[in-house]
Amino acid sequence: MKADLGDLNAFVAVVKAEGFRGGARQIGMSASAVSDAVRRLETQLGVRLLHRTTRSVAPTEAGQRLLERLTPALQEVESALDVVNGFRDQPAGTLRLNVPISALKLVLPAIVPAFRAAYPDILLEVIAEDGFVDVLAAGCDAGIRYGERLEQDMIAVPIGPRIQRFACAASPDYLARRGMPGHPKEVLDHDCLRLRFGSGAMPQWEFERGPERLQVDPKPALIVQAGAAADLAVDAAVGGMGLVYLFEDWLQPHLDSGALQPVLQDWWPQFPGPFLYYPGRRLMPAPLRAFVDFVGR
């Protein structure tokens, strides 16, 4: 049985986007054309592939099985077709990256404009989310993450600063009212602006000085979701609400302006910088190869 490649691609896009409109946007088609493609595929296969309601779309058991086999197969087809890119003067195509909000804010701004200037025929699409994801299942070519345990078939390449630090800071007004902590344990007596991950976990604040390392779990005066919402915690700290603990680079503009003052700077912990990771497959898409070479310079 032969199925149209476009219909198969439309089905995968709809499932990943959890809707016809989102799937249509991903592949540059109208929602009605995508709906027709999926209906045509179901008719040809003689089985329902999607559960449809007015609010959501989800794969049936048959649809899920088909998706699991189709996703890597379509990616291999895309990689095979991409081989012709090697015959171009400049590589072309779309490069999809899955990155955490911290990399979106602190790493990519120094890379993206120069990469675009060097490779104007490559469209860079960035999906920002903080959870660890299977980049292939998410329809991405590569991801950026900090210190995760990567699967054996993944290749990791350093990207951005190799050493970073977490920093603690507060506004001059707050410190004038409440005093400057002299030891990490004194943070427990202060108003603290905390971050919570989407999983529900609220990371403790880590401090280190020489061989001494400790964690504190202060009572929050404000909780915001880690990621883009972290800017609210920064703004609250600038407004004198309490102590904030975040990437040093994230806070640096406010430290430079004097809106925030360093707190316990001798105790700020260091950690390795992020990595670009991607599948170690034989056929690497030309846009990804160009990006890997670019960040490795």
Model confidence pLDDT, tens digit, residues 151-180: 556 788 899 898 999 999 999 999 999 999
Q: Report residue 51 as tokens.
A: 């559960």
Neighbours of 138 (CB within 10 A): 14
Mean pLDDT of 34-54: 85
Give me the pLDDT at residue 65, please. Answer: 87
- Round to whole Å and give the CA distance between 248 and 269: 10
Position 274, amino acid: P
Give the integer Cα–Cα distance in Å for 31 and 28: 9
On average, the pLDDT of the chain sits at: 87
Q: Assess whether pLDDT exceeds 90 at residue 137.
A: no
Helix (H) or strand (E) holding 281: none
- Among candidates 207, 197, 225, 218, which has minimal Cα distance to 168? 207
Out of 25-29, 115-119, 148-152, 219-223, least confident range:
148-152
pTM of the complete model beyond 0.75: no
* Confidence tier at 229 by pLDDT (50, 70, 90): confident
Q: How confident is the model at residue 245 (pLDDT cuts 50, 70, 90)?
A: very high
The β-bridge relationship of strands 220-225 and 243-247 is unpaired
The three-class DSSP label of residue 157 is strand
Is residue 122 scored above 90 in pLDDT?
yes
What are the beta bridge partners of residue 194?
223
E strands of the chain, at which residues? 50-52, 57-59, 93-99, 122-128, 142-145, 154-158, 163-170, 192-196, 205-209, 212-216, 220-225, 243-247, 261-263, 270-272, 275-279
